[in-house]
Amino acid sequence: MSEEQKGSAAAGQGQGQQQAAAPVFRLQKMYLKDLSFESPTAPEIFTEQGVDPKADVQLKLENRKLDSADQYEVTIKITATVTNNKTGKNMFIVEVEHGAVFLLQNIPPEHMPAVLAVECPATLFPFTRQIISQTTADGGFMPFLMDPVNFLALYENSRKQQQQQQEGAAAPQQ
């Protein structure tokens, strides 16, 4: 083998090693774990005049490592309760638990919490939002369009709260 071929082969092996160590972030599967829609005041809610809707939205994120290597489940749980602000009656309640399996390889351990709490839910959320919108439209209401969620801000706030709790617990008692 000539020197040029050896150098070319070594360069190819180096590129292969670099590619093997490249971070992998891949959504493998999305699925609906739970979906519930209630309209407890139908059909009267559709005949009321001057409906002034007020929305209360609760969001919860969960993640866990699956048995398969490098696979993680991330779920978004959302409960949206929309009430008539004038009467206080519930117009509708929609609950969804939407999950996905992500393949996460070669991601440094110090970055993994942010990937699971920011990148994964940010990838999944538009689909969750669409499910909620379609469900409320199918329930006879205007599509309920949730505002975008800043998962990075939620993650940073959560980290700050944890840090403050740790500092508070470590502070000497007087």
Q: Does some domain include residue 61?
A: yes
Return mean pLDDT, the chain: 88
CA–CA separation, 171 vs 169, rounded Å?
A: 6
Structure confidence by residue, pLDDT tens digits, 109-119 = 999 999 999 99
Q: Does some domain include residue 108?
A: yes
> If you average pLDDT over residues 120-136, what whole number do you get?
98
* Model pLDDT, residue 65: 96
Domain total in the chain: 1
Residue 9 pLDDT > 60, yes or no?
no
Q: Does some domain include residue 2?
A: no
pLDDT band at 133 (very low <50, low <70, confident <90, very high): very high
Q: Does some domain include residue 173?
A: no
Q: Does some domain include residue 14?
A: no
b or e along 1-24 (b: 16 or more beta carbons within 10 Å of the residue's beta carbon)? eeeeeeeeeeeeeeeeeeeeeeee
* Model pLDDT, residue 132: 98
Residue ranges making up the domain that contains 46: 32-160
> If you average pLDDT over residues 121-139, what whole number do you get?
98
Q: Does some domain include residue 4?
A: no
* Model pLDDT, residue 168: 77
Structure-model confidence comparison of residues 23 and 48, the more confident one: 23
Q: Does some domain include residue 13?
A: no
- Looking up residue 107, the CATH number of its domain turns out to be 3.10.420.10
- Give the CA distances from residue 29 to residues 87, 100, 102, 115, 126, in Å, rounded to whole numbers and listed in that order: 42, 5, 7, 17, 15
Q: Does some domain include residue 174?
A: no
* Model pLDDT, residue 40: 95
> If you average pLDDT over residues 88-106, what whole number do you get?
96
User: Which of 42-46, 58-62, 72-76, 165-169 bottoms out in mean pLDDT, i.e. has the lowest?
Assistant: 165-169
Q: Is 63 left (phi over 0), alpha (psi -120 to 50) or beta?
A: beta
Q: Is the dihedral of CA 103, 79, 156, 159 positive or negative?
A: negative
* Model pLDDT, residue 167: 81
